[in-house]
Amino acid sequence: MCVALVAISLAGCTRFEEDDLFDESASLRVTHFNEQLQSRLVAQSQGEKNGWVIQYFVSGTDELDFEGFNLFGKFSGNGKVTMAGNHRFLRDGKAGNYTEFTSTYELLKEEGPVLAFNTWNDILTVFVDPVDPANAPSALIKDGEGMGGDQNLIFQGYEGNNILFHGQRHFGGVRFVPCDRPWEDYLADTETLKNYITNSTVTSYYVICGADTLYFKNLRGGIVTYCERVNDPLFPSTINCVFSPTGFYLQHRNSIKGTSFQEFFLAEDKTCLMSENDSVKVIATWDNYIVNGRNTIWNLDMDNLSDEQKGLLAQIDAEAKKFNKDYSLSQVGLGRSTGSGAVKGIVFTFKVKTKTNTAGLSLTTSRPSFGKMQIAYSDGEKADKNLTTMAKKCDIEQIARQFAATLSGTYDIVPDNYFLPTGCELHSVDGGNDYILK
């Protein structure tokens, strides 16, 4: 399996054995190539340049898998390297804190170029050391193999300005990317991007290529589940990733219906992430969250309602006062009522002096296709106990049903945020009234 993955990842890269070196001995070719590789590492580390982002993956263990890590490196021509990071496995109380450490490196002449970090480095060696850090999961300590990282990296190929390696022993992928900003800024900007595109509320994503759709789940943890459906997937696979200030990079190239992808970038309009060749989209399942994924209430902007609807709400307010003179209608929305016999549908919120109370009437909200909401009301919909209790003293339930019927229709959803909406606009497909949800 490892051999297959390495073979796949080599495709399209500049290989070690270049044509203009074929007239040299193997040993001399390695020597010359090592010199070129070192020059490239050093050149990006000099002057005002910011060295390299080292997107580092470990192989993990049978029991545990790990996300990718952003490390940093600046290389000198005399074999010194300064590395940095803020990952969770830093020792001596440094976990999660930005740390720099200087050690040595060399380019070995084996069957091909090998970049060797040959002395201890606080940033890197912890992934290799079989004596696991104190905060490592117990399974690591149990097998004595550490995290499955490598400090000797076999040159794999060039990818434009990037340099690809894999671990000599455990075969974890490692990509060197020229860093375009100071290291601490890179980490801060990466965290900002990660927080924007991931959260603990909307945790699944459509992976779309033309008419074909699969799913990512749990992107935030850096260990993505790739599956054909969100609930009860049949053949899920795991993909490790590392975040950047512009998106995220997967350890291995993957595909959907024959179209490959490995890296995704936040689109300019911030509606989705696009693959490196713009052929695959990753879109948060924000539409499902708005339609089905919330137990609280999406409130309607009452100023945006039709005159008929405003009139019905004025009647509801008047009827509520017949039930209790201290009641006043403050809001109406879509969601789940909070009173006894709660229903999912339309929810009326009343102020009762310093408190609030809700009364609900069920209606069906569904997602007929991506980015659309359908609202359906029928006369047989159930009212919660709060509404039926109020209806014993006034005509509020009848008027509430009239109002609910005005919402029926199909709408295009335009969210205020395509990764975690806090509101949206509903644009009627049927030519009816448009709405704003908050």
pLDDT of residue 7: 43
pLDDT of residue 402: 97
pLDDT of residue 294: 66
Q: What is the mean pLDDT of residues 411-434?
A: 96
For 170-236, list the strands marked E by DSSP: 173-178, 204-209, 212-217, 223-227
Residues contacting residue 142 through CB under 8 Å, at least 6 positions apart? none
**Residue 120: count of CB within 10 angstroms of its CB:** 14
pLDDT digits (tens, 9 = 90+) for 354-363: 899 999 999 9
pLDDT digits (tens, 9 = 90+) for 393-408: 999 999 999 999 999 9
pLDDT of residue 338: 84
- The mean pLDDT value of the chain amounts to 90
Contact between 351 and 320 (Cβ < 8 Å): no
- Please report which confidence band the pLDDT of residue 132 belongs to, taking 50, 70 and 90 as the band edges: low
Structure tokens at 117: 């970090």
Q: What is the biggest distance separating any 2 CA atoms in the chain, rounded to whole angstroms?
A: 99
How far apart, in whole angstroms, are the C-alpha atoms of residue 283 and residue 291?
16
pLDDT of residue 386: 95
pLDDT digits (tens, 9 = 90+) for 281-301: 999 999 999 998 666 789 999
pLDDT digits (tens, 9 = 90+) for 323-349: 999 999 999 999 998 878 899 999 999
Q: What is the mean pLDDT of residues 365-389?
A: 95
pLDDT of residue 139: 54
Positive/negative CA dihedral, 332, 334, 335, 337: positive
pLDDT of residue 140: 58
**Residue 294: count of CB within 10 angstroms of its CB:** 14
pLDDT digits (tens, 9 = 90+) for 3-29: 444 444 444 454 544 445 445 676 788
Distance separating the N- and C-terminal Cα atoms of the chain: 50
pLDDT of residue 387: 96
Question: What share of the chain in percent tops pLDDT 90?
Answer: 78
pLDDT of residue 23: 55
Contact between 52 and 43 (Cβ < 8 Å): no
pLDDT at 204 over 80: yes
- Please state the domain extents for the chain: 2-180, 188-284, 291-437
- Please report which confidence band the pLDDT of residue 129 belongs to, taking 50, 70 and 90 as the band edges: confident
The helix (H) or strand (E) run that includes residue 37 is: helix 26-43
How far apart, in whole angstroms, are the C-alpha atoms of residue 45 and residue 47?
7
pLDDT of residue 420: 94
CA 418 vs. chain centroid, Å, equals: 12
Q: What is the mean pLDDT of residues 174-193?
A: 98
Q: What is the mean pLDDT of residues 82-103?
A: 95
CA 131 vs. chain centroid, Å, equals: 32
pLDDT at 208 over 70: yes
Higher pLDDT, 275 or 111: 275
How far apart, in whole angstroms, are the C-alpha atoms of residue 222 and residue 309?
47
Q: Of 2.40.128, 3.30.70, 1.25.10, 3.40.1350, which CATH number belongs to 188-284?
A: 2.40.128
pLDDT at 127 over 60: yes
Residues contacting residue 343 through CB under 8 Å, at least 6 positions apart? 336, 337, 360, 361, 362, 382, 383, 384
